[in-house]
């Protein structure tokens, strides 16, 4: 906005609608107070569009089983945002579209502007302007902080060399997207286990063994 350019992931409205649909179906808010390292690494269900009736279908607090289930669609949505919505519009601008030139800086920093979703709390019950969680104390530990930096770099390295990025492996864009989505899925799954699956009792409850008692 400061440079007078159109946000790259909004150049094609279909992509924005797809991302919004995935995010709406894969996340919800909860009451847990975040801490910098553990619960502060936000789960896939932390930011659902709680202004919709869909919130009634989800528990008030995240659970191990639900988070593991939603890690994949959340990873797909996040990867779409920082690759197809951000990087590809820079590399393949539409005729007449106002956009930045693809450089090493823009290919990485443009996807990072996805923090605007948390800046304006777009998925909270009452949208408001606030300092992005990623830029607050301890924000460096959030997956939401470094995913928009690491995944675009991985993506352009896989599809490169391209304009603004002189080295790469020459993969197709679809192949690179799949690998980036799998990587993000692994990160979100590990985050879920770190936050919600670090006790044996949590896995026992997930497997339906929480009510069983030991017998001698």
Classify residue 3: in a domain, yes or no. no
Q: Structural domain of residue 82, as residue ranges?
A: 8-206
Residue 183: pLDDT band with limits 50, 70, 90? very high
Classify residue 211: in a domain, yes or no. no
Tokens of residue 154, six digits:
């991985």
Q: Is the pLDDT of residue 78 over 80?
A: yes
CB 158 within 8 A of CB 182: no
> Which stretches within the chain are classed as H helix?
13-25, 64-82, 87-91, 104-112, 116-119, 143-159, 173-196, 200-206
Q: Rounded to two decimals, what is the model's pTM?
A: 0.70
Count of structural domains within the chain: 1
Classify residue 213: in a domain, yes or no. no
Residue 38: pLDDT band with limits 50, 70, 90? very low
């Amino acid at each position: 906005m400061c440079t007078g350019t159109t946000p790259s992931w909004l150049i094609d409205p279909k992509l924005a609608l797809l991302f919004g649909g995935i995010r709406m179906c894969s996340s919800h808010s909860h009451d847990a107070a975040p801490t910098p390292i553990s619960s502060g690494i936000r789960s896939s269900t932390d930011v659902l569009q709680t202004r919709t009736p869909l919130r009634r279908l989800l528990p008030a607090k995240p659970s191990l089983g639900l988070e593991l289930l939603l890690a994949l669609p959340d990873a797909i949505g996040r990867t779409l945002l920082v690759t197809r919505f951000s990087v590809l519009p820079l590399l393949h601008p539409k005729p007449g579209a106002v956009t930045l030139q693809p450089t090493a800086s823009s290919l990485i920093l443009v996807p990072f502007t996805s923090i605007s979703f948390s800046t304006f709390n777009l998925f909270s019950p009452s949208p408001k302007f606030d300092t992005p969680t990623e830029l607050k104390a301890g924000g460096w530990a959030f997956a939401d902080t470094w995913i928009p930096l690491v995944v675009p770099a991985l993506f352009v390295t896989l599809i490169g060399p391209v304009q603004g990025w002189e080295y790469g492996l020459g993969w197709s864009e679809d192949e690179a997207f799949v690998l980036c989505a799998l990587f993000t899925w692994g990160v979100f799954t590990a985050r879920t286990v770190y936050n919600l699956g670090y006790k044996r009792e949590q896995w026992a409850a997930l497997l339906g063994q929480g009510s069983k008692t030991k017998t001698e």
